[in-house]
């Protein structure tokens, strides 16, 4: 997938792994990160890299001014729900909201993505294949997917506990034991996700093979592939993902019931801080636009 879409979505998701200040720092550096990742994936020549950077700056500026206020409202609503206690339906609402916002970015970026991808050489596509293979091997290694079910579950437990600590603060030993027990009811999804990664990569590579044909048709197909990223799943895989989301929603509702008042306050404070960060970032973007300072560094700076 064109990496700039994933990187822009990090504006909403950076908080999973970092403190509030990192949201603003990370978002401000997206232009640099995107350029690095695009180079890693596609081995762009200087003209292609300049074109990518120019288009990304434009997309980033649009995202800052048009999308971040919506993200702030989204997080404010999330905070309201967290304050009264999160239910399984709230978790599913959150996931649906993230998917919808990804779709907005994807639809906006599709024409630029198609224009850039249409110019890739066969050698650059070969380079992409190697990078995808490297990423797939890392995914399997990080999730211990080729190991026993118990080792895979240990990897899931460690990842989930770390995420929860980021959101709610320190967990007691009793809470960790209870959470680990609850996770036993959540299906392991690493192999499902790996299968889905391979599906998406196969679709993308097949799409790139049509890049020399009708440009309008290629752009339409690119937009459809980006926006409707779940539609190509085989029925059995789609059903497995649906079941895993439902189980995870039930898991998070059960975890929410375990939170102490201090942990809930920690969660609410973080959500409030992120919402305020997005408002501040959007305001900085408007200040840049009004001043007419539109170069890459000024648009991206926090």
Containing domain of residue 188, as a range? 3-300
The residue length of the chain stands at: 302
Nearest Cα to 211, choosing from 200, 201, 199, 220? 220
- Residue pair 187/244 in contact by the 8 Å Cβ criterion: yes
Per the prediction, the chain carries an average pLDDT of 84
Cα radius of gyration rounded to whole Å, the chain: 20
- Is the pLDDT score of 271 beyond 60? yes
- Greater confidence (176 vs 12) lies with 176
Helix, strand, coil % over all residues of the chain, rounded to 5:
80, 0, 20
- Is the pLDDT score of 267 beyond 70? yes
For 24-61, what is each residue's pLDDT tens digit? 556 777 777 778 888 888 898 999 999 988 888 888 88
For 123-173, what is each residue's pLDDT tens digit? 999 999 999 999 999 999 999 999 999 999 999 999 999 999 989 999 999
- Residue pair 227/111 in contact by the 8 Å Cβ criterion: no
Phi first, then psi, for residue 63 (nearest 5°) are -65, -40
Q: Helix and strand tally (H, E) in the chain? A: 14, 0
**Rounded to two decimals, what is the model's pTM?**
0.82
Total domains present in the chain: 1
Segment 178-187 shows an average pLDDT of 95
């Amino acid at each position: 997938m064109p990496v700039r879409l994933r990187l822009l979505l990090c504006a909403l998701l950076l908080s999973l792994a970092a403190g509030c200040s990192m949201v603003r720092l990370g978002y401000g550096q997206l232009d640099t990160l995107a350029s690095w990742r695009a180079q890693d994936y596609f081995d762009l020549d200087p003209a292609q890299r300049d074109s990518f950077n120019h288009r990304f700056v434009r997309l980033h500026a649009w995202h800052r001014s048009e999308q971040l206020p919506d993200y702030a409202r989204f997080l404010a609503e999330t905070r309201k729900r967290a304050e009264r206690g999160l239910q399984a339906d709230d978790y599913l609402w959150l996931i649906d909201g993230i998917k919808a916002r990804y779709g907005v970015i994807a639809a906006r970026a599709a024409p630029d993505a198609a224009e850039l991808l249409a110019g890739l050489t066969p050698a650059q596509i070969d380079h992409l294949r190697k990078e995808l293979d490297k990423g797939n091997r890392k995914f399997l290694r990080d999730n211990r997917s080729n190991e026993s079910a118990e080792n895979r579950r240990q990897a899931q437990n460690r990842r989930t506990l770390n995420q929860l600590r980021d959101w709610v603060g320190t967990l007691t030993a009793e809470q960790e034991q209870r959470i680990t027990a609850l996770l036993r009811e959540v299906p392991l999804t690493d192999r499902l996700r790996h299968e889905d990664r391979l599906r998406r990569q196969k679709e993308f590579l097949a799409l790139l093979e049509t890049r020399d044909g009708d440009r309008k048709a290629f752009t339409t197909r690119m937009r459809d592939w980006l926006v409707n990223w779940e539609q190509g799943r085989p029925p059995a895989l789609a059903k497995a993902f649906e079941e895993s989301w439902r189980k995870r929603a039930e898991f998070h509702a059960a975890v929410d019931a375990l939170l102490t008042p201090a942990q809930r306050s920690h969660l609410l404070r973080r959500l409030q801080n992120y919402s305020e960060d997005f408002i501040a970032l959007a305001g900085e973007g408007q200040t840049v636009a009004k001043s007419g300072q539109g170069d890459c560094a000024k648009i991206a700076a926090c």
